């Protein structure tokens, strides 16, 4: 398994501001992803965090709104930029080292006022 | 329509009873993942199925993949209050492991003591 931590665990932010969420894994992983879980909804993939290169975004998500960094094989950040109340969600990172497993972090609960 | 349909959406069972949750994909499956989520917490990885007819178990939880039907069923035997939570299926579609998970809407399980 993998031990994944996310910071912050929760935050309350004002609209128009930005928040950077960190994801740290206890060992090197090949794949890292960022997901969003809106209130009462299931998870939606935002992007694949690529080590040493630009992230790959899913339809409906853009780099200007959700810039992602992955400087090495154990760490990634997701920034939620110019926030609005619609960005209130749980943001989760996930990691995969081998095909058969994909583990999720505990999530960051974001409330935008 | 949803790429991944889960049924039922919610389930209330008496402790000790068996139950089944289904997950049907509208696209070719590379792999099918099952997770459990408790309110306010991250996702707990249960198991991943890849081959048709494959069956795996995690404690009293068993899941099977019917590749032809592109469907998986998750079966809990002798349910306990500790089984309560939201069960999510996630699918990697296509012919290779991109790691990109599409999730069903989830099944909320309540177990009455």
Interface test with B, best of A43, A46, A55 (most B CBs within 10 A): A43
Chain B residue closest in CA terms to A58: B100
Q: One digit per residue, pLDDT tens: chain B, 113 residues?
A: 578 999 999 999 999 999 999 999 999 888 999 999 987 778 999 999 988 889 999 888 999 999 787 999 999 999 999 999 999 999 998 888 888 999 999 999 999 99
Interface test with A, best of B10, B35, B100 (most A CBs within 10 A): B100
Among positive and negative, which fits the CA dihedral B98, A4, A81, B105? positive
pLDDT of residue A13: 97
Alpha-carbon gap, residue B101 to B97, rounded angstroms: 10
Chain B residue closest in CA terms to A105: B42
pLDDT of residue B1: 55
Q: Closest Cα partner for A20 from A28, A31, A11, A32? A: A11
Q: For chain A, what is the largest distance between any 2 Cα atoms, rounded to a whole number of angstroms?
A: 40
Low-confidence ranges of chain A (pLDDT < 70): 99
For B1, the token pair is 């329509």
Å from B45 to nearest chain A CA? 6
- 3-state SS, residue A35: strand
Q: Closest Cα partner for B34 from B109, B101, B110? A: B101
pLDDT of residue A99: 64
pLDDT of residue A77: 98
Question: CA-CA distances (angstroms) from residue A30 to A93, A95, A110, B88?
Answer: 13, 8, 27, 23
Considering only the beta carbons, identify the residue of A45, A100, A107 that sits closest to B101: A45
């Amino acid at each position: 398994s993998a031990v994944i931590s996310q910071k912050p665990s929760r935050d309350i932010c004002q609209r128009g501001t930005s928040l950077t969420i960190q994801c740290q894994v206890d060992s090197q992983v090949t794949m890292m992803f960022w997901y969003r879980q809106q209130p009462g909804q299931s998870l939606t993939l935002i992007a694949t965090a690529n080590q040493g290169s630009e992230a790959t975004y899913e339809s409906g998500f853009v780099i200007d709104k959700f810039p992602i960094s992955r400087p090495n094989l154990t760490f990634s950040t997701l920034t939620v930029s110019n926030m609005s109340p619609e960005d209130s969600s749980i943001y989760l990172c996930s990691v995969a080292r081998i095909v058969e497993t994909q583990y999720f972090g505990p999530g960051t609960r974001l409330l935008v006022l | 329509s949803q790429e991944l349909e889960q049924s039922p959406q919610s389930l209330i069972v008496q402790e000790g009873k068996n139950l089944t949750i289904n997950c049907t994909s509208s696209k070719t499956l590379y792999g099918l993942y099952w997770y459990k989520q408790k309110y306010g917490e991250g996702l707990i990885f249960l198991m991943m199925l890849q081959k048709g007819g494959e069956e795996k178990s995690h404690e009293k939880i068993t899941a099977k993949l019917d590749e032809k039907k592109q469907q998986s069923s998750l079966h809990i035997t002798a349910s306990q209050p500790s089984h309560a939570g939201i069960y999510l299926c996630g699918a990697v579609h296509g012919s290779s492991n991109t790691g990109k998970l599409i999730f069903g809407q989830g099944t909320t399980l309540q177990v009455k003591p």
